[in-house]
Amino acid sequence: MKHSHDPKPMRASRIQLAQMMMPEHANTQGNVHGGWIMKLVDEAGALASTRHAAHRTVTVAIDRMVFHHPIHIGDLVLFNAEVTYAGHTSMEVEVDVIAENPISGDQVHTNAAFLVYVAIDDEGNPTGIPPLIAETPEEQVRMDGAVKRQQNRLANKAVRK
């Protein structure tokens, strides 16, 4: 059995949620509400962060969520989440959202989001998490981008104080 703080590869946190978009998820134009997508993005991110940390996690930030294409009633929406950065107690999760026509199989990448989670122990205090390993050059590029985003978050936090 692995120790809870042994390094873990990105792929160990990978999760995919799939949800069919129904009329109750949409506005009067037939587009799915952005808030519904944000909720599912956070659920996917929380699952990926929990899988990496092997602890419960809480959402502390949603960096950015830009919707490039509308999502419609009847679309199958795929939420692909993976940890891209791990600090001492916090981690960044990237969530990609893909809308698929389940009949034709056509897919469109509708948006991506970067969320930050903190691992917590049974008392609700931040707790240590495993280091993250990039196994491919593409993963290293994603991790490098995540490190820069984390540095920006910390710099912005210092400026606000």
Structure tokens at 136: 């491919």
Given a contact cutoff of 8 angstroms between Cβ atoms, the answer to whether 84 and 106 are in contact is no
Q: What is the pLDDT of residue 156?
A: 79
Per-residue pLDDT for 150 more than 60?
yes
pLDDT digit string, tens, across residues 44-86: 999 999 999 999 999 999 987 888 999 999 999 999 999 999 9
Per-residue pLDDT for 2 more than 80?
no
The 10 Å CB-count burial string (b at 16+, else e) for 10-21 is: bebbebebebeb
- Read off the pTM: 0.91
| Cα distance between residue 155 and residue 152, in whole Å | 5
pLDDT digit string, tens, across residues 78-117: 999 999 999 999 999 999 999 999 999 999 999 999 999 9
Please name each of the domains of the chain with its CATH number: 8-160 (3.10.129.10)
Count of Cβ atoms closer than 10 Å to residue 121 Cβ: 12
